[in-house]
Amino acid sequence: MSDHGPDHSPPPLPPPPGDRGPSRAQIIAGIAVALVFALAALIVAAVISRGSDDSASDATPAMSTTAKAAPGTTDPAPDTTARENGAIPAAPTTTAGAASDFDRALAPILAFVEKERGLKFTSRPVVIALSEADFVARFQKLTDDDYRKYRAEYDSATVVLSALGLLKPGVSYYETTKAFGDAGVLGFYDPETKELSVRGKTLTPFVKTVVAHELTHALDDQWFDLDRPEYKDAEDEISFGLSAVAEGNARRIENAYRETLSTADSAAADKEEASYGGGFQANQFTAAFLKLQLAPYSLGEAFVNDLLDLGGQAALDAAFNAPPTTSEEVLDVDKYLAKEGRTEVAPPPAEAAVVEDGVMGEIVIRYLLENVVSTAQATRAATGWAGDWYVAWSAGGASCVRMAIQMDTAADTADLKSGFDRWAATRPKANVTVNAKTVTVTSCTK
Structural domains in the chain (count): 2
Give the C-alpha distances (Å, rounded to integers) separating 407 from 148, 387, 417.
39, 7, 10
**Do 33 and 165 share a domain, yes or no?**
yes
Statement: residue 294 has pLDDT above 90? no
Single out the residue of 309, 357, 308, 299 nearest to residue 329, CA to CA: 299
Do residues 324 and 241 touch, judged by C-beta distance below 8 A? yes
Chain-centre distance of CA 43, in angstroms?
17
Statement: residue 28 has pLDDT above 70? no
Torsion, Cα of 379, 380, 385, 391 (10° steps): -60
Mean pLDDT in residue range 147-175: 91
Sheet of 185-190, strands arranged across = 2-3, 34-36, 185-190, 195-199, 126-130
**Do 362 and 328 share a domain, yes or no?**
no
Single out the residue of 427, 362, 363 nearest to residue 388, CA to CA: 362
- CA angle (304, 59, 347) in 5-degree steps: 75
Statement: residue 172 has pLDDT above 80? yes
The top-scoring range by mean pLDDT among 10-24, 68-82, 429-443 is 429-443
**Do 13 and 151 share a domain, yes or no?**
yes
Whether 239 is in a domain gets the answer yes
Tell me what pLDDT residue 150 has. 86
Tell me what pLDDT residue 39 has. 44
Q: What pLDDT band is residue 16 in, cutting at 50, 70 and 90?
A: very low
**Do 199 and 309 share a domain, yes or no?**
yes
Query: Which residue did the predictor score with more confidence, 29 or 375?
Result: 375
Q: Which residues contact 258 (CB under 8 A, 6 or more apart)?
A: 1, 209, 212, 266, 269
Tell me what pLDDT residue 191 has. 80
Do residues 318 and 333 touch, judged by C-beta distance below 8 A? no
Single out the residue of 440, 443, 353 nearest to residue 394, CA to CA: 353
**Do 45 and 75 share a domain, yes or no?**
yes
Q: Which amino acid is at 241?
A: G
Q: What is the DSSP secondary-structure string of 25-52?
A: HHHHHHHS-EEEHHHHHHHHHHHHHTGG
Q: How far apart are the first and last CA of the chain?
A: 39
Statement: residue 422 has pLDDT above 60? yes
Whether 214 is in a domain gets the answer yes
User: 3-class DSSP state for residue 211?
Assistant: helix
**From the CB of residue 82, how many other CB atoms can be counted at a distance below 10 Å?**
12
Tell me what pLDDT residue 278 has. 58
pLDDT tens digits, residue range 92-139?
Answer: 344 444 456 778 889 999 999 999 999 999 999 999 888 888 988 888
Q: What pLDDT band is residue 279 in, cutting at 50, 70 and 90?
A: low
pLDDT tens digits, residue range 233-275?
Answer: 788 999 899 999 999 999 999 999 999 999 999 999 988 887 7
The average confidence (pLDDT) of the chain is 79
Do residues 47 and 293 touch, judged by C-beta distance below 8 A? no
Whether 321 is in a domain gets the answer yes
- Domain edge (last residue) among 337, 369, 402: 337
Tell me what pLDDT residue 40 has. 47
Whether 345 is in a domain gets the answer no
User: 3-class DSSP state for residue 324?
Assistant: coil
Tell me what pLDDT residue 257 has. 97
Tell me what pLDDT residue 280 has. 63
- CA angle (191, 242, 314) in 5-degree steps: 100
- Rounded to the nearest 10 degrees, the angle between the axes of helix 410-424 and helix 375-383 is 130
The rounded percent of the chain whose pLDDT value lies above 90 is 51
pLDDT tens digits, residue range 184-224?
Answer: 678 888 887 888 888 888 889 998 999 999 999 999 999 99
With the C-alpha atoms ordered 340, 318, 299, 57, is the resulting torsion angle positive or negative? Answer: negative
pLDDT tens digits, residue range 428-437?
Answer: 999 999 999 9
State which residues form the domain around 400.
354-444
**Do 129 and 46 share a domain, yes or no?**
yes
**Do 248 and 146 share a domain, yes or no?**
yes
Mean pLDDT in residue range 177-181: 76
Tell me what pLDDT residue 183 has. 60
| Helices assigned H by DSSP within 50-150 | 99-117, 132-149
Tell me what pLDDT residue 2 has. 37
Single out the residue of 233, 178, 221 nearest to residue 358, CA to CA: 233
Whether 343 is in a domain gets the answer no
**Do 326 and 358 share a domain, yes or no?**
no
What is the pTM (predicted TM-score) of this model?
A: 0.81
Whether 39 is in a domain gets the answer yes
Whether 142 is in a domain gets the answer yes
pLDDT tens digits, residue range 362-381?
Answer: 999 999 999 899 999 999 99
Whether 346 is in a domain gets the answer no
Tell me what pLDDT residue 12 has. 35
- Rounded to the nearest 10 degrees, the angle between the axes of helix 238-258 and helix 287-321 is 90
Give the C-alpha distances (Å, rounded to integers) separating 254 from 116, 117, 201, 369.
10, 11, 19, 31
Which helix (H) or strand (E) is 241 found in, with range? helix 238-258
**Do 110 and 154 share a domain, yes or no?**
yes
Statement: residue 58 has pLDDT above 70? no
Longest dimension (CA), the chain: 67
d(CA 354, CA 91): 53
Do residues 174 and 183 touch, judged by C-beta distance below 8 A? no
- CA angle (17, 23, 24) in 5-degree steps: 140
**Do 58 and 138 share a domain, yes or no?**
yes
pLDDT tens digits, residue range 385-420?
Answer: 999 999 999 999 999 999 999 999 999 999 999 999
**Do 148 and 246 share a domain, yes or no?**
yes
Tell me what pLDDT residue 229 has. 78
**Do 321 and 358 share a domain, yes or no?**
no
Mean pLDDT in residue range 134-153: 86
pLDDT tens digits, residue range 305-349?
Answer: 999 999 999 999 999 999 999 999 999 999 999 999 999 999 999
Q: Which amino acid is at 183?
A: A
- Domain edge (last residue) among 283, 304, 337: 337
